[in-house]
Amino acid sequence: MSAQSTVLPKETFRFLCDLTLNNSKLWMDANRERYRSELVAPFRALLDRLAPAVRKLNKRFVVSGKVGVNFSRINRDIRFAKDKTPYRPQMYLFFAEADREGGQLYVGASPDQVTCGFRIYGSGREAPLVKFGRARAGQQRAWIERQRRNLARGYESYWYSSEKGQWTKHSGWPLKPEDWKKLQGWIVRKKFSPAAASRSTFQREACKIFRQTYPLLAFSGSSKWKG
């Protein structure tokens, strides 16, 4: 497969697999150039490919290419984490407005799969998910059900609530008002194999997924949603 037609090359997934098996600073220091060429460079190229379509959806989306703004950090904060390995064997490219609290469109790669879709998290009265999403959900059940029917084929949906201080995952769509009263995170996505994400058609598929899931982002995290 030519460099022009490859979106996320097989070397990206090989690097993530090797990082999973050798998750140490010593190994990363010895493979820093691989990290740059096999993980960072393909994701930056993917940002450039997807940015024009994303800006058509929302001109306020940031496409600066900064870590923490469009890209996830490879370093893990181990101070309070149960997993004490120093690096995350995943990489995420995400598009959001400047504060990012209103949700994201994203592409994420791990050693054995790629996911693409929409996600939003938030708690507290001023979080967009609470301030806008929860406030609308009870009056817009028909709209949510319509989106569920439209996206039922091929999409996975799940959401999170906090139960006794612990996050609890729920499969399916948050359709009931009581779901939204406790909802603190929502993800709607498609899964791809590494081989599928390497093809030139993945760029077109990602743009299609972003178009189809963007209404969910606007509904759950924006004051400008119009139905």
Q: At what angle do helices 41-57 and 201-221 cross, to 10 degrees?
A: 50
Q: What is the reported pLDDT for 151?
A: 96
Tell me, what CATH number does 156's domain have? 3.30.930.20
Query: pLDDT-based confidence at 160, cuts 50/70/90?
Result: very high
Amino acid type, 208? K
The mean pLDDT of 89-116, rounded to a whole number, is 95
In a domain, 98, yes or no: yes
Token digits for 97?
Answer: 């407005």
Q: What is the pLDDT of residues 165-175, one digit of tens each?
A: 789 999 999 99
Q: What is the pLDDT of residues 45-100, one digit of tens each?
A: 999 999 999 999 999 999 999 999 999 999 998 777 777 899 999 999 999 999 88
DSSP secondary-structure letter at 70?
Answer: T
| Domain presence at residue 226 | no
Number of structural domains in the chain: 1
Percent of the chain with pLDDT over 90: 81
- What is the pTM (predicted TM-score) of this model? 0.93
Domain region containing 128: 10-221
Residue 161 lies in a domain: yes
| 91, two tokens | 């990489």
Give domain status of residue 3, yes or no: no
Would 91 be classed as within a structural domain?
yes
DSSP state of 137: H
pLDDT category of residue 204 using cuts at 50, 70 and 90: very high
